[in-house]
Structures are given as structure tokens and as C-alpha cells.
């Protein structure tokens, strides 16, 4: 085996015959500017060579089995993630960042209010499961529990209101649909309005879709946005981009989730737009969205 950790060089092993190389398989975990592996401190990629005992031969390409291992840093890391209410993501106690005030990696609060406009915007450096989530200083307007957080994705008189909004994905070939926008403003001039801004920046967006899982068919979902994104599949938190992210992306392959072939599963995507500079959204998938009539996800935007 070969084990890759954060900061390691990408192996230069070619794939045997016409197979992909190790570098191709781990490309989602490589910093293109440094050509180094990018992982969390508690993560490792393990490369297995299963066919050859002579590891110096050209056939030993170490891509027979590739496993990403994430180690639990605390017992709470292993607690289940739950969904409660309608369109309301809620974490267990000691969840990543819901039950306490959200902070940057340096301890600066990032969500004492919906808007995140004071001071410079910091992007967390971890590509998977950022570490924004430690308890900050008390603030009466802070998000201090799942109840106050749920207001982001629910109708609350005087706080939040919603309207239907459909997102249409364009077919780009090879079975892939995508939506890409560098000006994603579904709430412009709607509900509470734009205020003094040219666009209505401070909104949340929730999408709910159904899909039929097909085992070993390489179904995937990839998302990126300016700010927070969470994706749940069958009630599991599978993508966690909490915090001000500026276009960072994550991808989930359904084959990794232990789903049952032929069963229908619910996919939920939750997005929060909290800065007043840019609003970007990108969604790519080859998943057939059953409830959305092939390529439309009917959902709601909250202001």
C-alpha cells in the first residue's frame, strides 16, 4: 500500500494498460498550484496494489483500490446527523457549527447575523469539513442553537419568508447536467426586497430532489457556492461547506454511501448567501432527478 497525507506529493505512477493513473483518481484532492495532496489533518488516502507482488513492475500502478479514510477527532464526530422539520437542517448537540456561534478559524464570529460583511472575508483552508465551528463570544443576535438556525430555512413572521423557485440544469454531454452562475440572485426585488443594495444578497435557498440509485454507475453530485452549502442524501450529511467559501467545491459519489441498488432516495441541498459582494452557485450531476422531471429541481428561496 501507499498512504497519502496532507501536503504529500502526488504519485507519478502511470496506470497499467489503458487504466487511469493514481493522479487521475485523486485529482479532486490536489492543489493545482503546488501539485500537493490537500486533506484534513484527520484524513489519509490509501492506495492498494492487489494484482502484483513485484512492486517494481510496470503493472504495479497502486490504483486497484483507493480509499479515503477520515478519522473521528472526538467521540461527537461519530454522532448521527438528523433532519428535523420541513426544509430545516439540524445537527446533534456538538454538531459542526449549529449549536454554537459560528467562527472563523481564527475565532472571529462569522454569523452573529445573517449578513457577514464586517471585516475581511476569510476562506477556511481545509478542503473537506472546514474547522469553522468553535464557540465564539456571546452575542444576543448570534445563532446559538438549531431553533434560531432553522429560521434560515423556514417561514417565520417578521424574520423570514419564502417563495417557490425552480433551478434548471443544462445538459452538457456525457450524461452530465450543470447549473453555473456568477450572479445567483433568486430573491432580487422579491419578498423583503433588496434594501439599499443593487441585489438582494442575504437569502437562503433549499432544494429537494428524489433520485433512483443505480449501483456502480458512478452517480455523483458536485456543488460550489460563495457561502454555506450543505447536502444531505437519505438524511446523511454528505457535503459540508459551512462558512464563507468563495467558490470552493465538494463532490459526493453515491457509490460511497452504502445505498441499495434500485431504491429511491431524497437529496436536499441547503445554501446560505451571507455576503454583499458576490453570489455564485454551481451544481453538476449525472443523477436522474426523478421528482424534478429530468433536470429541474423545484424548491424555495427564503429572504
Q: Quote the radius of gyration of the chain (alpha carbons, Å).
A: 20
> CB of 217 within 8 A of CB of 273?
no
Query: 19-52 pLDDT, tens per residue?
Result: 788 888 888 788 878 889 888 777 888 888 887 7
Q: Is 114 in contact with 152 (CB distance < 8 Å)?
A: yes
pTM for the complete prediction? 0.48
Q: Higher-confidence residue: 240 or 129?
A: 240
- What is residue 18's DSSP assignment? T
pLDDT value of residue 233: 87
Contact 26, 45 (CB under 8 A): yes
CB distance 153 to 204 below 8 Å: yes
Tell me the mean pLDDT in the region 232-243: 80
pLDDT at 143: 44
**For 150-198, how does the pLDDT look when each residue is reduced to its tens digit (9 = 90+)?**
566 666 655 555 666 677 778 888 888 888 877 666 666 565 554 555 6
pLDDT of 43 reads 82
Q: If pLDDT is split at 50, 70 and 90, which confidence band does 82 have?
A: very low
Q: pLDDT for 94-116, tens place per residue?
A: 222 232 334 444 454 433 333 33
Local structure of 263: helix, strand or coil: coil
Cell for 240?
459540508
Helix ranges restricted to H, 45-181: 146-150
Largest Cα span, the chain: 69
Distance CA 283, CA 225 (A): 9
Amino acid at each position: 500500500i501507499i498512504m497519502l497525507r496532507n501536503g504529500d506529493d502526488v504519485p507519478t505512477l502511470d496506470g497499467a494498460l489503458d487504466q487511469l493513473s493514481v493522479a487521475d483518481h485523486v485529482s479532486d484532492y490536489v492543489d493545482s498550484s503546488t501539485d500537493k495532496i490537500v486533506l484534513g489533518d484527520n484524513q489519509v488516502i490509501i492506495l492498494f496494489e492487489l494484482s502484483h507482488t513485484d512492486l517494481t513492475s510496470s503493472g504495479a500502478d497502486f490504483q486497484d483500490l483507493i480509499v479515503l479514510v477520515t478519522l473521528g477527532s472526538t467521540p461527537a464526530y461519530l454522532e448521527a446527523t438528523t433532519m428535523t422539520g420541513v426544509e430545516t437542517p439540524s445537527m446533534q448537540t456538538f454538531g459542526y457549527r449549529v449549536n454554537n456561534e459560528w467562527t472563523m478559524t481564527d475565532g472571529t464570529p462569522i454569523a452573529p447575523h445573517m449578513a457577514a460583511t464586517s471585516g475581511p472575508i476569510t476562506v477556511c483552508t481545509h478542503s473537506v469539513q472546514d474547522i469553522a465551528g468553535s464557540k465564539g463570544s456571546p452575542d444576543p443576535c448570534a445563532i446559538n442553537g438549531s431553533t434560531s438556525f432553522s429560521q434560515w430555512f423556514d417561514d417565520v413572521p417578521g424574520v423570514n419568508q419564502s417563495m417557490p423557485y425552480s433551478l434548471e440544469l443544462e445538459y452538457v454531454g456525457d450524461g452530465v447536467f450543470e447549473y453555473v452562475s456568477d450572479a445567483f440572485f433568486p430573491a432580487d426585488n422579491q419578498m423583503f426586497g433588496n434594501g439599499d443594495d443593487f441585489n438582494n444578497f442575504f437569502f437562503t435557498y433549499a432544494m429537494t430532489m428524489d433520485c433512483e440509485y443505480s449501483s456502480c454507475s458512478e452517480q455523483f453530485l458536485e456543488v460550489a457556492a460563495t457561502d454555506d452549502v450543505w447536502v444531505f442524501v437519505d438524511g446523511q450529511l454528505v457535503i459540508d461547506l459551512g462558512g464563507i467559501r468563495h467558490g470552493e467545491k465538494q463532490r459526493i459519489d453515491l457509490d460511497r454511501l452504502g445505498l441499495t441498488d434500485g431504491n429511491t432516495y431524497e437529496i436536499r441541498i441547503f445554501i446560505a448567501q451571507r455576503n454583499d459582494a458576490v453570489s455564485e452557485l454551481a451544481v453538476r450531476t449525472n443523477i436522474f432527478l426523478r421528482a424534478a422531471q429530468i433536470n429541474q429541481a423545484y424548491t424555495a428561496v427564503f429572504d
